Structure 1
Amino acid sequence: MTDRANVTISLRSDIDGEVEENVFAGEWFRKGETVFIRYEETGEGGDTVRTMVRWRDGELSVTRRGDVESEQKFSAGAIHGGHYRSAHASFRLETETRLLIVQFGDLAKAGPSEEQLRPELPMLLIWHYRLIVNDEPTGEFIIRLQAEELLDTQGD
């Protein structure tokens, strides 16, 4: 079982019905039962934003550093506090998580098995939440993140 791998990350965001899809190169690694996915994206000003996704025991956290700084936490049925900061704005966030699903291993298999609960690649995360900014609901988010091992094709 691999503890570290270069991955392709497919990220699909549905925000109040508006869908955006992105693909990033990143790194997947595991420390014990905690799984991390790290990748970089380009911010609005062309600056780099480093994103770290952390999964452990039914809890997901997403931390972003760079042009934008934010922290969000998600666990099904719970509300968690967080924050957002940029050069233009700073505010506190709350996430009310309605659904949080993780699946590991062969994503083509029907139904979860014990193997699919062990932290390995490929990995699929789906979470649905309501975002609250300064006590005001601002939108419904459905996020789908899939990480698959980036295979070395140089020997072909």
Structure 2
Amino acid sequence: MNDSGKAIIILESKADGEKVTHRYKGEWFRKEKSLFIRYAEDEATRALIRYSPGELSLKRSGAVQSDQLFVSGQSRTGRYRSAVTVFELETKTKSLTLQAKAKQDQTGALLPTAPPFVLEWRYDLYVSEQLSGRFHIRLHIQEDHES
């Protein structure tokens, strides 16, 4: 069983009918009852995703700093900060799923032991209590055999 490794991360984002795909190199690792995915969006911004069954958090640091939390069927607050603006966010998560060959570890968490796996979530994003967009995110994690 692997608990970590290099990864190719393919991020598909659909927002209000428009689809954008990004490809990153990064890493994945398991720690306690969580699965982590870490990658650089660009030279100035890094992202860290933490998934535990039923919950996903996304933290971005660098030129852009943001914290978002997704819990299926619930609303959560977060924040966004860049050089030009700061604002509060609210996510209303409609669904959150993990597609993988997973097995329970000694802590009882049902998590993948190795790629490939897919995290998928749908949510409405509110900024200042106004609907900013409806999002559908698919994060494909594959082993990186080149690194």
TM-score, normalisation: structure 2: 0.90
Deviating 4+ runs (over 6 angstroms):
none
Which structure has greater strand proportion? 2
What is the match of residue 49 of structure 2? 53
Counterpart amino acid of residue 92 in structure 2: E
1:146 maps onto 2:140 in alignment: yes
The letter of the residue matching 1:14 is K
In structure 1, how many angstroms separate the alpha carbons of the residues matched to 2:34 and 2:119? 14
The amino acid across from 1:22 in the alignment is H
The C-alpha deviation readout for 1:29-66, integer Å capped at 9, x for no partner, is: 00122100000012xxxx52000000012100000001
Aligned-pair identity (%): 41
For the pair 1:119 / 2:97, whether they are aligned, the reply is no
Q: Distance in 2 between matches of 1:139 and 1:70?
A: 17
Bigger Rg over Cα: 1
What is the rounded CA distance, in whole Å, between the counterparts of 1:91 and 1:124 in structure 2? Answer: 30
CA distance in 2, matches of 1:68, 1:118: 29
Would the aligned equivalents of 2:103 and 2:111 in 1 still touch at CA under 8 Å? Answer: yes
Name stretches of at least 5 consecutive residues in structure 1 with no aligned partner.
106-112
Give how far 1:28 is off. Answer: 0.2
TM-score (norm 1): 0.85
Structure 2 residue aligned with 1:23:
23
* Structure 2 portions without partners, runs of 5+: 105-109
Written as runs of structure 1 = structure 2, the 5 A alignment for 1:8-87 is 8-42=8-42, 47-87=43-83
Contact 1:33–1:119, Cα closer than 8 Å, also in 2: no
Higher relative contact order (CA 8 A, sep 6+): 2
- Paired position in structure 1 for 2:107: none
